[in-house]
Amino acid sequence: MKKQSRLQLISEIILLAYIIMMLVVFLLFKDMPEFLVDAMFAGFGAVLCVVIVSFISRRRVKKMTYLENRLGLWNSISYRVKGAGETAFNKMPVGILVYNNSLEIEWANAYAKEAFRSQLVERNIHNVDPKLAGFLQSNMMNFNIVLYGKTYECSVIKESNILYLRDVTERIEYLARYRDRTLAIGILHLDNLNNALGSLDAKERSSHITSLIGIITEWCEKYNICTLSYSDERYLLVFDYVILQEVIKENFDILDKIREYCSEQFIRITASIGIACSDVDADKLFEQASSQLRLALDRGGDQTAVSIDGETSYYGAKSMVLEGRTSIQIRVKAQELGDLIKRSEKVFIVGHSAMDADAFGGALALYKMVKAYKKEVYIAID
């Protein structure tokens, strides 16, 4: 390129000198022979041709140099892109599997080999991981698999038979820790407390309430539940998702403990619990827990209603629960009637005077109830 520039400069200087020489000659020698004039113009034409050719040649060389530089740049970019692709395939934390329709692995990058702890190539996925093979055969496009204690998120490009794996173990663990710390609020209600203890003197009432508080406190301490009494019959429970799962696993044995104590003391008291666990403000969570308690009470009490992220489940109901939205008091009265029947050898059902169809229907219903206890029963009709 520099050589061409020098030649171009020399030819231009020669052309300029030739033009000056011609002007001087024409001015000094006006009567020059014709052949000399022709020779001078021929020389001028030759020098001009050299300059033009040199100029064109220089432009061509310049263009060629530009194209060569561009080609070199493209080659460099292509090489770097290729290198980046190879790095992505082999160094980035994404596993790639290419397999055929028979689930035989045709190619795998280094990350995938490390994840499966196998060379993978020319092996069948059925032999590598049967669960993964099942997912692929079921045409699932996105799923998770566990390999050697790590969880991988899998994405499938079905038309190309390519599987991508990404380690999401940390994310799953973060989500699990977040879930485990989700706040749960519960309200424990002692059903029929005032009615059951209303006929007792202050000392007996206080003794029973103290015993019930002791049962509740012991249970809360066992599971690390924070509890606060805000009336004789209601207790606030504060804990988290992990503890909630523990008490669910034990089917809320606090209900059994309270039921057993009250049965031994011949008092008609059971417990109902409403619990809500969700990622909402504490005041809204308390409202949800109150709503769950109402559900438990409306179902007859002696049970727990639990709402986890809006889904309600029921646990622990062992007492007789009447159909529909039955009140606690009706259930208690039904249990008292059952106890009276159990303690009797014979039962006589007496309706009001001039028994009508309603009274007779009620007597028949009670007759069937007594028969269910296998007791001798009679209906008296005047």
When pLDDT is cut at 50, 70 and 90, the band that residue 41 belongs to is: low
**pLDDT at res. 340:** 84
Residue 87 has pLDDT above 90, yes or no: no
Q: How far is CA 303 from CA 62, 221, 251, 258, in A?
A: 92, 20, 10, 11
**pLDDT at res. 252:** 93
Q: How far is CA 81 from CA 77, 139, 290, in A?
A: 6, 33, 62
Among the residue ranges 18-22, 321-325, 376-380, the one predicted with the least confidence is 321-325
List the strands of the sheet with 183-191, edge to edge.
226-229, 234-240, 183-191, 270-277, 304-308, 311-315
- Position with higher pLDDT, 37 vs 360: 360
Residue 31 has pLDDT above 70, yes or no: no
Residue 3 has pLDDT above 70, yes or no: no
pLDDT tens profile 154-173: 999 988 899 999 999 999 99
Residue 20 has pLDDT above 70, yes or no: no
Among the residue ranges 11-15, 280-284, 363-367, the one predicted with the least confidence is 11-15
Among the residue ranges 67-71, 186-190, 238-242, 243-247, the one predicted with the least confidence is 67-71
**pLDDT at res. 53:** 67
Which residues are registered as beta bridge partners of 291? none
What percent of the chain has pLDDT above 70?
75
List the strands of the sheet with 162-167, edge to edge.
105-108, 95-99, 162-167, 150-157, 142-147
The two beta strands, 234-240 and 162-167, are: unpaired
- Position with higher pLDDT, 7 vs 153: 153
When pLDDT is cut at 50, 70 and 90, the band that residue 325 belongs to is: very low
Residue 322 has pLDDT above 50, yes or no: no
Residue 239 has pLDDT above 90, yes or no: yes
Among the residue ranges 21-35, 144-158, 215-229, 236-250, the one predicted with the least confidence is 21-35
Q: What is the mean pLDDT of residues 32-43?
A: 62
When pLDDT is cut at 50, 70 and 90, the band that residue 30 belongs to is: low
Residue 313 has pLDDT above 50, yes or no: yes
Residue 121 has pLDDT above 70, yes or no: yes
Residue 374 has pLDDT above 90, yes or no: no
The two beta strands, 270-277 and 142-147, are: unpaired
Q: What is the mean pLDDT of residues 228-248?
A: 94
Cα 281 to its chain centre, rounded Å, is 20
